[in-house]
Structure 1
Amino acid sequence: MGFDPRFELLVEGEWIPVRTYERDTIEVETGCGDGASQTDPGRLSITIDNRSGRYSTRNPESDLYGKIGRNTRGRLSVPGTTSYLELDGTVDGRASTPHHASLAITGDLDVRWEGEADWYAPGATFLIGKWGASGNRAWHMRVQDGILYFSFFYGAGLNLFVGYFLPPELPRHAALRSTVDVDNGAGGATVRLYWAPTLAGPWTEIVSFTEPGAPLTLFPGTAPLEITPTVQTDVTPNRLPLTGRVYKAEVRNGINGTLVAAPDFTAQAAGAPSFVDAAGRTWTLSGTAVIRDRADLIVVEVPEWPQDWQPDESDAWVSIEGAGILRRMGQGKKALQSTLRRRIPSYSPLAYWPMEEGNAASRAYSPIAGVSPLTLTGANWASADSLPSSQALPALAPTSSNPAMMMGRVPAPATALTAWAVQWLYRLDQAPASRFTFMRILGTGTIAEWYIQTGADGTNLIGRDDDGNTLVSHSIATGSDLFGQWVLVHFVLAQNGSNIDYDIYWTDVGGDAGHFGSSIAGSVGRPTAVASPPNGYAADLQGMAIGHISVWPVAGTSAYTNAVTAWTGETAWQRVRRLATEENLPLARIGAPETTELVGPQTPDTLLNLLQAAADADGGLLLEDATRPGLVFRERSSMYSQTPKLVLSYNQAPGLAAPLKPVDDDTAVRNDRTVQRDGGSEARAILEDGPLSVQDPPDGIGLYDDSVTLSLHDDAQAEPIAYWRLHLGTVDGPRYPQVRVMLHKAPHLIPAVLALGEGDLIRITDLPKYVGFGDVDLLVDGKRHELGQEHWEVTFNCSPGAPWNVGILDDPVLGKVDTDGSELAAAVDTDDTVLSVTVTDGPLWNTDPVECPFDIRTGGEVMTVHSCTTAAQDTFTRTVTTGWGTADSGQAWTTTGGSTSDYSVGGE
C-alpha cells in the first residue's frame, strides 16, 4: 500500500502487526460530524487477513487464543515525520547511559528535555535524572500534579527542590528546562525553570528561586543518566516512569555550557536498540521502551470479531469496526455516586452511613467493611432531595404508633484512641419552640452519652456518665441560620492530658461556620453508636432530614471539604481533571491562559455526561486521544485567534479537492439565544439589527432561537455566555461544511494534515470571485480518512473560523478596536485614492502613524489603511487585497472629513 498504513493489536503488553487486505478501503472517523455539537466515538473500519485462523477468537489452535477478544486494543498508524522514544509507563521501560566522568558535574548545571507527557496528571512522573538508590542521587527533573520540579543534592547530603505550576497554555509537545547557578555572585545559588515549544526555544521562564548562603557544590553521584529514572518508592507520591514520548534531551556542564549528554531520538532509526549521541554517550533502551517513527491516526477498542470466509475456504477475513473510548463510555448507564458517597469512604472512617437508600428502606447500609447497617424507623426515605452533593435522604415522620428511632453501631478501632469525631448533615426547616435532641452519641469514655439539642432559642450540649448523671451542660446561643438550609455538624473529642477537650462546629453548606468548645476532666474512650433519643425523636422534629453520618478515629478530616458543596465553583478544567483522576481515565489538556468557566454542582450522573457538561459550560471540546484510549479536553480559549496549521491555496494546491462548495444557508444561524444556569436563572441575547437579525426580511432573516441549560456556578455567567453563543450563531457569511484534501496528489501536505487536530484552524486562500472573496478561515470539527492502495483522502468537517478571531490586548493586529460606525462622506470610484469618512458612532479614528497600517473591509473589499490625517481631514491610504475593486496593489483611496480621538482603529 502506497502510504504504508499499519494496523497493530496490543497483546500481552506488546503491539503486534496485523496483515490487512488492500482490496478494502480503510476508513477512520474522529471528532464531530457535520453540524454536531459533541464528539462522536472514533471509528476504524478495516479488513484483516484471517486465512490462518489466527484472529478467530474461538480457535484454540491460534497463538492468540485467549489473548484477544472483546475490546482488545488496536491502533492504525502511518509513517510519521520524525522518530521518538515511546515509553508506556512500565517500570523497566527507559533509555539510559552509564555514568561518565563528564557527567560528574559539581558546578553550574543546565538540563533540557523535549517530549510529550500528561503535564497535569496526578502523581509524580520522572522525566530525566541521575537518580539512583538512596545515597547515590544527584538530580532529577519531574512533573507532579501540574507542577515542574527540579531536585538535587549538594554539600553534605543536603537536598533542594524547586517547583512551580506549569502554564495552562503549555502544548502537549513541549520542552522543559532547569538550570542551577551554584554561585550567583550575591552569596547564594539560583535555580530557574523554563518552558519552550522545542529545545530550540525561545525559552520562557516559569520561576526563579534563590537559595541564600555560600555557593553550592552539587553532588555528582555515580548513578546512570536515565530517561526516565528508576521508580522511587520511598516518598509519597512515588516517582513513576513516564507514559509518553521523548524527542530530545540535553545535559550541559554550565548554563548554556558544554554538552555532556545529548540524546536525539528524532535522529535514530525506528527500532534501534542503542546509539551514540553527539556528546559521545552511548544510550541503551530497555524493557518496553522503543524508538518509533509512526503517527497514530486512531487508537480503538475492538468490540467484536466477525468471521467471514469463502465457501471453498480459499479466503477468510475479519471485518473490524473498532471504536474510540467514547463508545464504551457512552454505553455505561450507571450514574456515578454522589460526591459525598464517593469521597468520604476514601478517608477511612470508623463507620459511615450515606443513608441514600430508596423510599421503601428501613435501614442504611455502610460502604465501610465490618460496619453494620444503621436502622431508622418513622421516616420517609428518599424524600429530601435538595442537597446537590447527595442522593435523596430520609426525613423524620414520627407518629404515635411509629416513633422515629435511629441506631448505628460503631465497631471498635484496632488501637486506643486519643481523639475521635462524628460528622453528619441535617436540615430542619421549622425551628422547634423548645430544644429537642437531634443527635445522640454513645461512647466508652467518662461521658457515656452526648445529647445535642436544637431549638428556636439556641442549642444545648449535654454529657452524661454511665449512671445518667449530667457532667456537661451548655446552653449555646445559636442563630436562626441553622434552620431552612443544610448544615454540616462536626462534633470532636480529644484527650488533652487528664482532660477531654470537646468541640462542636456548625457549617452552613456553602456558607458560614460556628463553633463552641470547652473541656472536662476525664478520658475520651471510643465511640460506640450514633442514635436518636432513647424514646425516639420528638414530633417537633417532623420533617428533619439527616444523612451522611460518619465516625472518625481522629479529631479532624477533610473528607467533606468541597464534596459537601458538590464541588460547585471549580473550573471546567478542574472538574474534568478531577473526575478523570478519580476514574483512572487518561486525560490530556489543550489549555490557554484564560481560565475556564466555573461550573455548578456535580450531581449524580454518568461519567461521560459529567465530563461533557463541564466542556459545554466552558464552550470547549471533549475529544478522544489519537494515541491511547483516553480523552483530551480542549479549552474554549485555546481556539481563539489561532495561526492556521494548514493553509491551502484554492488555485495552487493540487491536494485540495474541487469544487470547494460554500453553503450560504441558515443551518447554523441562531439570532436569539437563551442560556439557563442549571438550577438558577437565565439570560437572553438577541441580535436586533443587521442582515442576520430577528427582524423580518429584508431588514433581517426572522427569528431563529434556541435555549440551553448549562452547569454554571453563578447566575452572572449566563449573560456573557449567551452573547458569545449569539456571536457564534450570527456569522454573516457562507459556510464551508467540508474540505477534502487528496494527499496522494499532494504528499507534501501530509505533515501538516497529521499535525491537525479538532479545534485547529484551516485557511483557504485565493478563492475565485464566484466562490467568495478574501481568505476563508475554518475550524476543524471532525476528520475522515479514506486510505486505499493508491489513494489517501482526508475530509474535514468544518465550521466558520471567523468568529473565533477575537481581540488581544497589545497585539499589533488584534489589539486594535474599530469604531461603532463610519460612512462615506462622498462617493468614490475605482480611480480614487482617498476615502472621505464620517464617524457616526463610537470612538474616532486615531491619526497616530504607529497605528498604521491596518485593514478595513467594506463593500466586499479588503483595504489596507496606510495613514490617517489630522482632525480636520482623516486620510486612509488603502491597498486593495481582495474584492470587487481594481486589484492593482499600488492603487490607494483616501477620504476626508470627520475628526479623531485617542482610540486606535483596526479592520474587522
Structure 2
Amino acid sequence: MAFPTTPLPIYVGLATGADPVNPATWNYSEITSDVRDGAGVTIVSGRQDEGTQVGATNVNVTLDNRTGRYCRTNPLSDLYGTLDKGSPVQVRVTRLVDTFSRVSGAGLGTEPASGIAWTGNTQWTANGTAAQVSLATDNLAALAITTAATGFDVEISYSCSISLLPTGASWVFGAAFWLLDANTYYRAHTEIAPGGVVNVKVQKRINGVVNDVLGITSTGLTVSAGTVLRNRILVIGGTILIKVWLASGSEPAAWTASVTESQPQSTGAATGLFGWRVSGLTNGSSIVGSVDDWRMDTIRATTPVPEWPVRWDMSGRDVRAPITGAGILRRLSQGQSALQSPIRRQLSAQPVCAYWPLEDGSSATQASSAIAGGAMATAAQVTFGNADCPPGASSAAVLTTSGVSGITGRVNRWTVPQDGYACMTYFRLPTLSGSASPNPTNRLMSINATGTVVRWIIYTTSTGFYISGYLADDVTAIVNTGSFAFSLDPTRWSAIQLETQESGGTVNWSLIWYQIGAGAFTMGNGSYSGTADRITQVTLHAPVDGTLVSHLWAGDDQLAFVDGTFMAVSAAYAGETAGARLARLAAETNVPVTMIGSAANTARMGAQPQGVLLDLVRECEAADQGTLYERGAGLGYVTRASRYNQTPALVLDFNQGHVAEPPEPTDDDQRLRNRITLRSNGSEATAEDTASIAKSGVYGDDPTVNLQADQLSAHAYWRLHLGTVDELRWPQISLDLARNPSLIAAWCSVRIGSRITIANPPSAVAGQPLDLIVEGWTERLSNFSWTVELVCSPARPWDVGVWGATTSRWDSASTTLVSAAAAGATSLPITTATAADCWSTTAVPYTWSIAGEDVTVTSITAPAGTGPYTQTATVTRAVNGIAKSLPAGSSVRLSRPMRWAL
C-alpha cells in the first residue's frame, strides 16, 4: 500500500557539528521520530509575491523536546557541544524502497508497496531477493528507470555485488539521476576493476554523448566475488557526493568523492539503476551483477537552523523546540562584509611579498598593508580615498606635488625564490610631463633591490617611459634605455610592471604596460650579467602634480600580469556576462551555485562595483532579468534565456480535480508598466507602449541596472514587454497530493521558474487553459497530508519567436474584421491597412484571436486592392472553446503573438 493509504514516508535529518559553508561535511542523523505530527513540516520556497525577489527558504518543524535534547545549553543532551546555530536540517520524502522480493522474467516490474514501476532495459530481472543483470556482449549497458521516483535534489542508496571478479576491464554499477530519457542523464559509478579494486566515477550522457564529470577515484577498497558493497549518492544543488563501503562494516562519516556540476540538466528529474560491461571485459558473460535494498529519497529542503528556541506549557511537561530553518539567502543578507575590490582579490592571490592596495580612507596618513604582519607604507603630501580610480579598485591615492610627494613601502620579508622579482602599480597622470628626457622630477617609481642592480628608476616623460638600473655604487647604470613610446594615453588609468628573471648568470628584465580597457600589452626589455634576488623597498613618485596611483605590489616574477584575466580584473570585469559574474563571485566566496541555462547567453554587464556578495549577485539578476533562488545548500540561478518556451513540468486539469481549491486570480495593475526608462552607468533608454498609455494612463518605471550601454534600448523594450502583457495573475493555486498522488512525481520535478499548465478552467473566469510560471510555493507535509500552494505568474511573456519555427509568426497590428460574423460562420472578410501586415496565403494554418474567440485560418485569399487591402479567410471557429458573434471592426491578431527575445 502507498500514500495516502499508508503514512507519507517523511525523513527529517539533522547534521550536527557540520561546517555551515561546506555541504560535503553535512552527515545527517534522522530525527523524524521527534517531529510533532500535529504540525508536520512546512516549507516555504521562492517568492510569495511575484513582484518581489526570492527570499530565503524556510523550514518550519516542531520537535518534541521533553528530554532536553534540542536545548543547546543542556549538558545532559547527547547533542551538547555539537548543536550549533547553523546546524543544517534536511527534509526528504522517501519515494522508493525496493528489496526486489518478487520474481520478474524481463525487467524489474513494479515495487508492490509504492506501486512504482521500473521501465527501460529488460535485461534487469528480479529473482525474489535482488535485482540481477548479466550482459552478454562487450560495452553493453542496461538502464532501468523509475519515472515516478523523481527529484532534482535526491539521495540514492543501494547494495551491490558481482558473482565473479572481472578480468581485462571493469564491471560498473551506477545510480542514474537528473534523468530526462535514456539518452540524457547523469550517473554515479561504482566500478569494480580487475583484482577487485573498487573505484568511483561520475559521468553524464547528454543526447547520447558521454563525458566524465569526475574521473576515476579510488575508494581504497578491494573486494572478492560475492562481497557486498553499500553505496550512497547524495545530489544536492550541483554537488554530487559518493560514498562506498563494505556492507559488513560501518558507514564512514566522510564521502569517498565529490564533484560540482555548475550547469546540470534543467528538466527531467527521474532516477534509475545502471549496469555496464566495460569494453575489454574478457569474462563478462559469466558475471552476474546483483543490486538490493534500493532506496531513493527526494530532498524537499535543506536549510541551516539559525535559532534553537525552547518552549513549554505551564505544567512543564510539554516541552518543544519550534525551529525554523532558513536557507543561505538569510545568511548572505545579514552580517556580511563588502567584498574586496577585484584588483585586490586578484593581487592578493598572487605569490606576493609586499602589497599596499592604496584604497585607504580619506583621513588616512599612511598606506595600509594587505599582507598580515606587513609594514605600512609612509606617505608624504598624499591624499587617500579618491574616487577617481581604476574600475577594478575602490579608491586611489593622489600624489599632490611633483618631485615632492611619495609613497614608500619597505618589504620586510621575501617568501618566494630569490631568482627574480616583479613590481607593479596603476597610475594616471593629470597631464604629461613637460620634459622629454628623464630627470628627478618625472620619476614614477623607484625600486630598491638586492643583486646586481640595487636600484631601478622608471620615468614618464612627455613622450614615453625610460628605465634605469644602477649598480651598488648607485652611480653606474647598467640599464639605461632610450624612450619607450607610450603606446597608451597616460592621462587615463594604466598599469605598469617591472619584471626580472634570473637564469644561468643572466638577468632578463622587462618593462610592461597597458591601458585599462585595451586589449593588448606593450613591452620593452633587455638583459645583463648578474643576479636578481629580491626587492627591499618601493617608492611611488609624482611625475606631475596630482598624479593618481593605486595598488602597489611586489613579489615573485610569476605575477600573471600579461594575461586576459588581469586585463578583465583591472577593468572590473566590464563586458562580463551576468551568468559568468555570478558564477565567479560564488566561486570566490565558496558559495555553491547551480545555473539553469548558459552563462554565455546572459546580459553583458558594466564594471563590477564594490559591495557585499548578495548585492552583487542581485545586480547580476537585475541585469539579466533571470531568477536568483536557493538550490540545495547553495544558490540557484535561472537565466532569462532558459525561461523562454519551456516545456511544462506539471500538467494539471480542473476537470480531474487536480486543483484543490478554487483559485482566486487577480486582475489588477500591479505589474503594469507601460513606460520604461532604463538607466545604467550614466546612460539611459526609454521605451513606451502608446496604446497601453492611451487605455490606462502612464505606469512608469525607471530602474537602474548595471548593463553595458549598447544593450540599454533592447533591455528597456524587453521590460516593457513584460510589463504590458495583459493577463490575470494567479497568486494562489492549491494542490492536494494526498487526493492526487499521481501528481507527486511531476511535482517533485518542479523548480522555481518551471512552467505548468491547467486545462479546463471555468470559461467565465479564464476562457482558455492556464499557462503559468511557478514563482514560489508553500508545501505542508504530515503523515497523511501533502498540500502545496503555488504562487504563479503568466507564462505568455516568456513565449518568444524562433526563426523558422511554425509556431512563430509575425503579427499584424492593422487588421480588422470587415463585417460582423455570426457564431459558427466560417468565412471572415478582413481589411489590413498596410501591405507589410497582410496575411500569408501559404503559411496556413495559423490562429487568430478576434474579440476573445480563437479561430484557426485554414485558407485565405490573396490581398486585393491598393491599400487598405482586403482578404477573406476560411476558418475553424471556437478552437479555444469560446463561440460568439464577432462585431464588425474587431481587431484581428494572432492568438499567441510572440516577440523576439533579447
1:491 counterpart SS class? strand
- Is structure 2 residue 39 aligned with structure 1 residue 24? yes
C-alpha displacement at 1:300, in angstroms?
1.5
1:637 aligns with 2:641: yes
The one of 450, 455, 463 equivalent to 1:457 is 463
Q: How far has the Cα of 1:439 moved from its partner? A: 0.2
Q: 1:639 to 1:384 in 2, by over 3 A?
A: closer
User: Is this contact kept in 1: 2:389–2:550, CA < 8 A?
Assistant: no
Q: Tell me how far apart the structure 1 counterparts of residues 600 and 493 of structure 2 sit (CA, whole Å).
A: 34
Unmatched runs of 5 consecutive residues or more in structure 1: 118-124, 144-175, 178-194, 197-202, 208-220, 232-237, 262-277, 285-289, 888-892, 896-903
Do the aligned partners of 2:877 and 2:883 also contact (CA within 8 Å) in 1? no
Q: 1:357 aligns with which of 347, 354, 360?
A: 360
Q: Tell me how far apart the structure 1 counterparts of residues 71 and 717 of structure 2 sit (CA, whole Å).
A: 55
* CA 1:302–1:499: 2 relative to 1, 3 Å: closer
CA contact (8 A) 2:678 2:686 kept: yes
CA distance in 2, matches of 1:230, 1:2: 29
**Contact persistence 1:380–1:396 (CA under 8 A):** yes
Residue from 491, 508, 513 that aligns with 1:506: 513
Q: Establish whether residue 338 from structure 1 lines up as the match of residue 341 from structure 2.
A: yes
Question: Does residue 1:772 correspond to 2:770, yes or no?
Answer: no
SS of residue matched to 1:299 = strand
Selected match of 1:62 from 77, 85, 90: 77
Deviates more, 1:509-518 or 1:31-40: 509-518
1:735–1:259 distance in 2 versus 1, CA, 3 Å:
farther
Alignment pair present for 1:8 and 2:13: yes
Matched, 1:704 2:693: no
Shift of 1:449: 1.3
2:700 aligned partner, one-letter code: D
2:275 paired residue among 228, 240, 250? 250
- Return the offset for 1:728: 0.7
Given that 1:384 and 1:395 are in contact with CA atoms closer than 8 Å, whether structure 2 keeps it comes out as no
8 Å Cα contact 2:460-2:543 kept in structure 1: no
Q: C-alpha separation between the residues in 1 aligned to 2:173 and 2:299?
A: 29
Confirm or deny that 1:466 pairs with 2:472: yes
- Rounded to whole Å, the distance in 2 between the matches of 1:111 and 1:791 is 36
Partner of 1:734: 728
Query: Counterpart amino acid of 1:880?
Result: A
1:175-200: per-residue Cα shift (whole Å, max 9, x none)? Answer: x34xxxxxxxxxxxxxxxxx14xxxx
- 2:556 is matched with which residue: 552, 556, 571? 552
1:819 maps to a residue whose letter is: S
Tell me if 1:856 matches 2:848: yes
Name the CA distance, whole Å, in 2 between partners of 1:583 and 1:555. Answer: 22
Contact in 2 for aligned 1:501/1:517 (Cα 8 Å): no
Separation in 1, partners of 2:467, 2:590: 44
| Cα drift, residue 860 of structure 1 | 0.4
Following superposition, the deviation at residue 874 of structure 1 comes to: 4.7
Match of 2:693 in 1: 694
Counterpart CA distance in 2 for 1:775 and 1:523 is 82
Distance 1:763 1:85, change over 3 A: closer
Give, as a single letter, the amino acid of the residue that structure 2 aligns with 1:281: G
After superposition, the Cα gap between the structure-2 partners of 1:633 and 1:260, relative to the gap in structure 1 and judged at 3 Å, is farther
Q: Could you say if the C-alpha distance between residues 113 and 747 of structure 1 is closer, same or farther in structure 2, counting changes exceeding 3 Å?
A: closer
**Does 2:823 align with 1:822?**
no
Report the Cα offset of residue 370 of structure 1: 5.5
Match of 1:128 in 2: 189
Counterpart of 1:798 (choices 777, 792, 801) is 792
Specify which of 445, 450, 472 is matched with residue 444 of structure 1.
Answer: 450
One-letter amino acid of the counterpart of residue 825, structure 2: D
Question: Does the Cα contact within 8 Å between 2:497 and 2:511 map onto a contact in 1?
Answer: yes
3-state SS of the aligned residue for 1:780? strand
Letter in 2 for 1:882: N
CA deviation after TM superposition for structure 1 residue 771, in Å: 0.7
**Which residue is 1:187 aligned to?**
none
Report Cα offsets for 1:619-638 as digits up to 9, x if no partner: 1111112xx32111111111
Q: TM-score, normalised by structure 2?
A: 0.77
User: Which has the larger displacement, 839-848 or 612-621?
Assistant: 839-848
- State the aligned residue count: 766
The answer on whether the counterparts of 1:127 and 1:241 sit within 8 Å (CA) in structure 2 is: no
- For 1:368 and 1:637, the matched residues in 2 are separated by 43
Please give the alpha-carbon distance, in whole angstroms, between the structure 2 residues aligned to 1:797 and 1:333: 30
Once residues 86 and 63 of structure 1 are traced to their aligned partners in structure 2, the CA distance between those partners, rounded to angstroms, is: 33
> Is the counterpart of residue 656 in structure 1 residue 659 in structure 2?
yes
Instruction: Classify the secondary structure of the residue corresponding to 2:570.
Output: helix
Q: What are the equivalent positions in structure 2 for 1:573-592 lying under 5 Å apart?
A: 573-591=579-597
Mapped contact 1:88–1:243 kept (Cα < 8 A): no
TM-fit CA distance, 1:14: 3.1
Distance 1:393 1:509 in 2: 15
Structure 2 residue identity aligned to 1:705: G
Pairwise CA distance, 1:451: 0.9
**How much has 1:659 moved relative to structure 2?**
2.7
Q: How much identity, in percent, do the aligned residues show?
A: 27
Summarize the alignment of residues 224-623 of structure 1 with structure 2, pairs less than 5 Å apart: 240-242=257-259, 247-252=272-277, 280-282=288-290, 292-369=295-372, 371-398=374-401, 403-409=405-411, 411-413=413-415, 415-417=417-419, 419-434=420-435, 435=438, 436-467=442-473, 468-479=475-486, 481-495=488-502, 497-532=504-539, 537=541, 540-554=544-558, 556-557=560-561, 560-591=566-597, 595-623=601-629
TM-score by length of 1: 0.76
Q: CA deviation at 1:818?
A: 2.7
2:91 is paired with a residue of what secondary structure?
strand
Give the letter aligned to residue 248 of structure 1. Answer: L
Question: Hey, what's the Cα distance between the residues in 2 that align with 1:136 and 1:355?
Answer: 59
Deviations 1:290-343 (A, max 9, x none): 954332222121111111122323321111122111111111331011111112
Paired residue type of 2:729: R
- SS of match in other structure, 1:331: coil
* Contact map agreement 2:12 2:90 (CA 8 A) in 1: yes
Q: 1:15 deviation in Å?
A: 2.5
- Find the residue that maps to 1:881 and give its secondary structure: coil
SS of the residue aligned with 1:547? strand
Aligned residues of 2:505 and 2:531 also touching (Cα < 8 A): no
Contact 1:816 1:905 in 2 (8 A): no
Query: 1:441·1:527 contact (CA, 8 Å) conserved in 2?
Result: no
Structure 2 Cα separation of the partners of residues 876 and 79 of structure 1: 55
Q: Deviations over 1:437-481 (max 9, x none)?
A: 010112223222111111223222122212112222223242483
1:732 maps to amino acid: D
| Corresponding residue of 2:114 | none
Structure-2 residue corresponding to 1:169: none
**Pair 1:809-2:834 in alignment:** no
The alignment partner of 2:714 has SS state of: helix
Q: Give SS of 1:577's match.
A: helix
3-state secondary structure, aligned to 1:350:
strand
C-alpha displacement of 1:876: 3.0
Verify the 8 A CA contact 1:129 1:229 in the aligned structure 2: no
